[in-house]
Structure 1
Amino acid sequence: MPLQRPSRHVLRIQRTCRASATGTSNGKAENTRVIRGPCYVTRDNIDTDQIIPAEYLTLVPSKPEEYEKLGSYALIGLPTELYEKRFVEDGRMKTEYPIVIGGQNFGCGSSREHAPVAMGAAGAKVVVAETYARIFFRNCVSTGELYPCETDLRLCEELETGEEVEVDMNKDVLTVLATGKQYQLKPIGEAGPVVDAGGIFEYARRTGMMKLA
């Protein structure tokens, strides 16, 4: 997927918010692309209004305190009758699930950049889904908040929320830690280095694509 110049909103996130959240101006430091922890399982057609409803879009991600608050509302729009457990528990700012499992068309709906930003602010590191809405995939990469991994498998029907898994993007496999069962992932390709860097702004700076003051 071709890289595009980031919007001013993304630039503000990369300059201010990520530096404050990580304590460094260099975005993500060394990253092996191996993420381990309990997974949160969703289904098909998870839209951006379910990821972060419009009423929370007044929060400004470039302000560290509002970035954290935005994360506390990640996936709050999921219907409670289908999802017994909340992605972020009431009264908490962070999720216990660094890995989100989806089905088809994850991130459909409006093109709001707040969607991957909210999930990243909550502590999610990677989404593994069959397919993505193109704009959500691009926003994951451009903001550097999430690794959007793809698979041909219906992992949303194979896995359950709370199962401990490991996503290894170096070997392109997801492993269920309790059983050792492995599922094949598609290579993340050129999107990987951009997310590694912390987003397209930092990637462009590091590779000389953009000269910035």
Structure 2
Amino acid sequence: MKGTAWKFGNDIDTDIIIPGRYLIYTDEERLSQHCMEGVDDKFNEKCNKGDFIVAGRNFGCGSSREHAPIALKGVGVAAVIAESFARIFYRNATNVGIPLLEAPGITKIVEDGDEIEVDMENGTITSMNGETITFKKLPPFMLEILEQGGLIEYLKNKR
């Protein structure tokens, strides 16, 4: 996968990803219009399908709202790459089909707006300056869930 990296800092909580006033909505389209509004009110206009969010530690902390990964999916984020993730956000993102890649050191090699390439099979991320970093590869069952578009679709197809 190739795309633009949109870089954010540490402790990006779910209220930054999708502010609480939009929790009355549940559809991807409506939520995507306000994705990352807490730090960049133009993010939904800049982000293209297949782009990446790169962040520091503890991405997705805060409340356990599923709206946050739904907003990311709606805006077209291919994956979130961070130093670490909040545990419940990790599970919610997997459930809706957003890959989360844990890559310690990623914020040192990627800058906002850089083009990066993610190789899921080999567990590598290559920046536009040629630096490569590894991430914790996802287990096959999780890749299958993500390929199906999330847990519900995965379970429907398991019958």
- TM-score of the superposition, structure 2-length normalised? 0.91
**Structure possessing the higher radius of gyration over alpha carbons:** 1
Which residues of structure 1 form unaligned runs of 5+? 1-34, 62-66, 209-213
Q: Identify the residue that residue 150 of structure 1 maps to in structure 2.
A: 102
Structure 2 counterpart of 1:77, one-letter code: G
Q: Which digits, 9 at most, give the CA deviation of each residue in 1:123-149, with x for residues without a partner?
A: 1010011111111000111111x1011
Is residue 134 of structure 2 the alignment partner of residue 184 of structure 1? yes
Is residue 124 of structure 2 the alignment partner of residue 173 of structure 1? yes
Is residue 32 of structure 2 the alignment partner of residue 71 of structure 1? yes
Is residue 56 of structure 2 the alignment partner of residue 103 of structure 1? yes
Task: Count residues in correspondence.
Answer: 157
- Does structure 1 conserve the Cα–Cα contact (< 8 Å) formed by 2:13 and 2:60? yes
Q: Identify the residue that residue 129 of structure 1 maps to in structure 2.
A: 82
**Which among 91, 94, 117 is matched to residue 70 of structure 2?**
117
Structure 1 counterpart of 2:136, one-letter code: K
Q: Following the alignment from structure 1 to structure 2, what is the Cα–Cα distance between the partners of residues 200 and 41?
A: 27
Q: Percent identity?
A: 36
Aligned-residue offset at 1:68: 1.1
**SS of alignment partner, residue 162 of structure 1:** coil
Q: Following the alignment from structure 2 to structure 1, what is the Cα–Cα distance between the partners of residues 109 and 42?
A: 20
**Which among 202, 205, 209 is matched to residue 153 of structure 2?**
202
Structure 1 counterpart of 2:115, one-letter code: E
Structure 1 counterpart of 2:116, one-letter code: V
Q: Following the alignment from structure 1 to structure 2, what is the Cα–Cα distance between the partners of residues 130 and 47?
A: 14
- Does structure 1 conserve the Cα–Cα contact (< 8 Å) formed by 2:4 and 2:115? yes
Q: Following the alignment from structure 2 to structure 1, what is the Cα–Cα distance between the partners of residues 101 and 138?
A: 6
**SS of alignment partner, residue 88 of structure 1:** helix
- Does structure 1 conserve the Cα–Cα contact (< 8 Å) formed by 2:52 and 2:79? yes
Q: Following the alignment from structure 2 to structure 1, what is the Cα–Cα distance between the partners of residues 31 and 79?
A: 18
Q: Which digits, 9 at most, give the CA deviation of each residue in 1:153-196, with x for residues without a partner?
A: 2x2232111100011111100011x3322111111113221111
Q: Which digits, 9 at most, give the CA deviation of each residue in 1:70-92, with x for residues without a partner?
A: 101100011x6xxxx84223xxx
- TM-score of the superposition, structure 1-length normalised? 0.69
**SS of alignment partner, residue 118 of structure 1:** helix
Q: Output the aligned Cα RMSD.
A: 1.6
Structure 1 counterpart of 2:37, one-letter code: I
- Does structure 1 conserve the Cα–Cα contact (< 8 Å) formed by 2:120 and 2:137? yes
Report the CA distance shift for 1:71/1:39 in structure 2 as closer, same or farther (over 3 A): same
